[in-house]
Structure 1
Amino acid sequence: MTDLDALKAVIRADSAARGQTVSKLGYFCAPFRPASGPFSDRVIKVYRGLRDAAALDRLAHCHDDYVTALNQAGVALPQTEFHLLDMDGTRIPVIVQEALPSDSMMRPQMQTASTDATLLMMEAAGDVIATFWNNADQFDTRIGFHPSIRNFAYLDGKALFFDTFPPLIHYSRDEMGKMLLLFSDKALMRWVGPFLQKKVTGIQDEWYSAPETLVGLVGSACRLRPNDAEAYLDWGRDFTQRRMSRWADEALPGLQEPPRLPGYWTGFRKVLGLQGEPNVS
């Protein structure tokens, strides 16, 4: 049982007492790992609080359902807990997740490994994507998945997914579009975003499409290592035929040349300082 009072104390502590910030450039928050104490083996993710109690209760319910659904679909997750903490009169969503070795993050490994080694990582991440989508038919609800390179660890030859926020289950497209603004850690996004709600809403579409999640993974690899782009495109086309043939007609056209991010999302990332850096949100 998590000691919620101890968790509140860790969250209230100044940055020095908190310990290591895992990522400063996450879209929704900057996760941190306490340097000592009962949560030193955990990553803590603190999100914006809301005054809408019903919306927070729904968020908690959806997060629980999403973790359950990911596990049912065969996606391995680090141990993950969701809490709504009363902090100074405001309920704050907090995720407490088992910490993974810092050197297991997939993105920095992709940057430094040999081409052959990165293709093994892509195969491991692709296996998670294919496993999820080939098992997703069992869910009678809208469900998505955001398997970007920065949302994976690569450990002992396997890819481990760890991104559960926002919970991509039950919410309609319009509702999720509003959540992308509501829970953004960037004040600028919350200020500018409503004027571009249609474009912001479109950010999520890739996450709810089996072929687009695979194409997105390949696109990330191509941008990360442009000199190896042809190797990743070759891998993506082969993987589609082997593991995701149900979606081959949709995926293969997007794997003929290095996939590109939509221009509006590239613009948002530049404005917000999200230059493709590791994200543990």
Structure 2
Amino acid sequence: MTDLAALAETIRRHEAAQGQPISRLGYFCAPFRPAEGPFADRVIKVYRGMDDAAMLERLAAAHDDYVAALLETGVPMPETAFHLLEMEGARVPVIVQEALPEASLMRPLMQVAPRDETLAMMEAAGQVIARFWNAADRFDTRIGFHPSIRNFAIVDGVAMFYDTFPPLIHYSRDEMGRMLLLFSEKRLMRLIGPFMKARVTGIQDEWYSPPETLVGLVGSACRLRPEHAEAYLSWGRDFAAREMPRWADEAIAGMQEAPRLPGYWTGFRKLLGLQGEPNV
């Protein structure tokens, strides 16, 4: 059982020391791994606190349900726990997750590995995507998945998924759009986001679409290693027909050429200074 007092103290010490996060992406938070202490084998993700107790309780319940759903559909994951910590008079959402070896993170591996090894990693991640969507209709609720390259690690040939926030379960499209604004670590996004609500809300649509999650994975690979784009596109078309036949036509149509990020999302990334670092 997690020692919440020790967890709170670990977070306070990290903030006081202004330690370096292990990811610079930081849309929702900057995860960190303590150098010592009881959580030295864990990654800690601290999100924005809220005054709305009902919202936080719903968030905690949704996160528990989402982790359970991912595991039920066969998505390999490190041990993951969600807590609402009392800190400085506020309740703060915190995720504590078993740390994966830094050398196993898929994105940096994809950047340097030979073509055939990158294709093996794509197959491992694709199998997780297919496994999730082929089983997801057992849930009588809106559920999504965000299997980008930066959200996987490759451990002994298995793609481990580790991004559980926001929990993509139970929330309507409009509610999830508000979540993207409320929990953004970037104050600028929280200020300008409401004026571009439709576009912010649209960020999530790929996460709830089986073919688009596969197309998104292939598109990321093509951007990382453009010299191998044709190999990735060929793999993606074959994989869709082989492992995701229900959505093959739409997925294959999206992989005739290297997929591109929507213009509004690349614009947000530039505006906020976000980089494609692993979101561990």
TM normalised by structure 2 equals: 0.98
1:114 aligns with 2:114: yes
Structure 2 counterpart of 1:148, one-letter code: S
Work out the percentage of aligned pairs sharing the same amino acid.
75
- In the alignment, what sits opposite 1:86? 86
Indicate the SS of the match to 1:21. coil
162-171 vs 20-29, which moves further: 20-29
Q: How does 1:1-281 map to 2 (within 5 A)?
A: 1-14=1-14, 21-280=21-280
Equivalents in 2 of 1:185, 1:55: separation in Å?
18
Equivalents in 1 of 2:123, 2:247: separation in Å?
17
Instruction: Give a deviation string over 1:187-240, Cα, whole Å, max 9, x none.
Output: 010011000000000000000000000000000000111111001000000000
Instruction: Give a deviation string over 1:35-62, Cα, whole Å, max 9, x none.
Output: 0010000000000000000000000000
Equivalents in 2 of 1:16, 1:223: separation in Å?
37
Q: Residue 29 of structure 1 contacts residue 47 of structure 1 at CA under 8 Å; is this kept in 2?
A: yes
Q: Residue 26 of structure 2 contacts residue 279 of structure 2 at CA under 8 Å; is this kept in 1?
A: yes
Structure 2 counterpart of 1:198, one-letter code: A
Equivalents in 2 of 1:38, 1:277: separation in Å?
26
TM normalised by structure 1 equals: 0.98
When residues 14 and 39 of structure 1 are mapped into structure 2, their CA distance, relative to the original with a 3 A threshold, is: closer
Q: Residue 24 of structure 2 contacts residue 275 of structure 2 at CA under 8 Å; is this kept in 1?
A: no
52-61 vs 242-251, which moves further: 242-251
Equivalents in 1 of 2:20, 2:66: separation in Å?
27
Q: Residue 14 of structure 2 contacts residue 34 of structure 2 at CA under 8 Å; is this kept in 1?
A: no
Q: Residue 25 of structure 1 contacts residue 279 of structure 1 at CA under 8 Å; is this kept in 2?
A: yes
Equivalents in 2 of 1:220, 1:133: separation in Å?
19
Indicate the SS of the match to 1:66. helix
Q: Residue 45 of structure 1 contacts residue 94 of structure 1 at CA under 8 Å; is this kept in 2?
A: yes
Equivalents in 1 of 2:15, 2:115: separation in Å?
38
Runs of 4+ in 1 over 6 A off after TM superposition: none
Shift of 1:77: 1.0
Equivalents in 2 of 1:147, 1:19: separation in Å?
28
Equivalents in 2 of 1:106, 1:7: separation in Å?
28
Q: Residue 18 of structure 1 contacts residue 35 of structure 1 at CA under 8 Å; is this kept in 2?
A: no
Q: Residue 219 of structure 1 contacts residue 258 of structure 1 at CA under 8 Å; is this kept in 2?
A: yes
Instruction: Give a deviation string over 1:67-95, Cα, whole Å, max 9, x none.
Output: 00000111011000000001111100000
Equivalents in 1 of 2:14, 2:83: separation in Å?
21
Instruction: Give a deviation string over 1:248-277, Cα, whole Å, max 9, x none.
Output: 111111000000010000000111111322
Shift of 1:14: 3.8
Q: Residue 18 of structure 1 contacts residue 32 of structure 1 at CA under 8 Å; is this kept in 2?
A: no
Indicate the SS of the match to 2:179. helix
Instruction: Give a deviation string over 1:95-115, Cα, whole Å, max 9, x none.
Output: 000000011100000000000
Shift of 1:155: 1.1
Shift of 1:177: 0.3
Indicate the SS of the match to 1:43. strand
Indicate the SS of the match to 2:213. helix
Equivalents in 2 of 1:97, 1:197: separation in Å?
31
Q: Residue 19 of structure 1 contacts residue 33 of structure 1 at CA under 8 Å; is this kept in 2?
A: no
Structure 1 gap ranges (5+): none
Shift of 1:279: 1.6
